[in-house]
């Protein structure tokens, strides 16, 4: 029993270390999936899910600011504050007023913010786009 708890703890510590090692772990584990789901839900008028995804995306950037405020000499916290927070606010506002048109426009600005940071961080080869399809076969994302 104690052995199992210690093994679990060791596993949790290893996971935490892996996660905090690089901003890239946050990106592929959390930022990218929420960014994809946000589009598919928001563009199809699935407002409740879209609002949820927008919050999750915001919380992920909050975590980046807390745990990875700089990465490889890049001020990730400051850049996220400038490049993500204002457009994410617009995304949330568009969802709140039920405007798919405003949502799509704000999402475009948000996505541009992703790439401006990638270019600033010498990762301009990471190019983000509006997702063309749902890669999550097990989750219903689009509005009915």
What residues line the site for ligand HEC (CB under 6 A)? 22-24, 27-28, 31-32, 35, 71, 74, 76, 79-80, 83-84, 113-114, 117-118, 121, 123, 126, 128
Of 10 and 124, CB closest to ligand HEC: 124
Q: Tell me the closest approach of the beta carbon of residue 9 to ligand HEC, in angstroms.
A: 26
Of 12 and 18, CB closest to ligand HEC: 18
Pull the structure tokens for residue 53.
């995804």
Q: Tell me the closest approach of the beta carbon of residue 144 to ligand HEC, in angstroms.
A: 26
Q: Tell me the closest approach of the beta carbon of residue 22 to ligand HEC, in angstroms.
A: 3
Q: Tell me the closest approach of the beta carbon of residue 36 to ligand HEC, in angstroms.
A: 8
Distance, in Å, from the CA atom of 99 to the CA atom of 104, rounded to the nearest integer, reads 9
Of 28 and 139, CB closest to ligand HEC: 28
Of 46 and 114, CB closest to ligand HEC: 114
Query: Which residue pairs from 46-49 have beta carbons closer than 8 angstroms and sit at least 24 positions apart in sequence?
Result: 46/141, 46/142, 46/143, 46/144, 47/95, 47/98, 47/143, 49/141
Residue (of 113, 96, 23) closest to 65 by Cα position: 23
């Amino acid at each position: 029993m104690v052995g199992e708890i210690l093994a679990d703890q060791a596993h949790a510590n290893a996971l935490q270390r892996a996660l905090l090692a690089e901003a890239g772990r946050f990106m592929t584990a959390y930022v990218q999936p929420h960014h994809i789901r946000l589009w598919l839900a928001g563009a199809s008028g699935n407002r409740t899910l879209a609002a949820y995804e927008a919050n999750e995306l915001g919380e992920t950037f909050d975590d980046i600011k807390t745990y990875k405020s700089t990465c490889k000499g890049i001020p990730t916290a400051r850049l996220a504050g400038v490049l993500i927070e204002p457009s994410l606010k617009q995304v949330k506002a568009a969802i709140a007023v039920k405007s798919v048109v405003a949502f799509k426009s704000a999402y475009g600005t948000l996505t541009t913010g992703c790439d401006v940071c990638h270019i600033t961080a010498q990762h301009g080869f990471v190019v983000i786009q509006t997702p063309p399809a749902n890669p999550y076969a097990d989750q219903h994302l689009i509005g009915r």
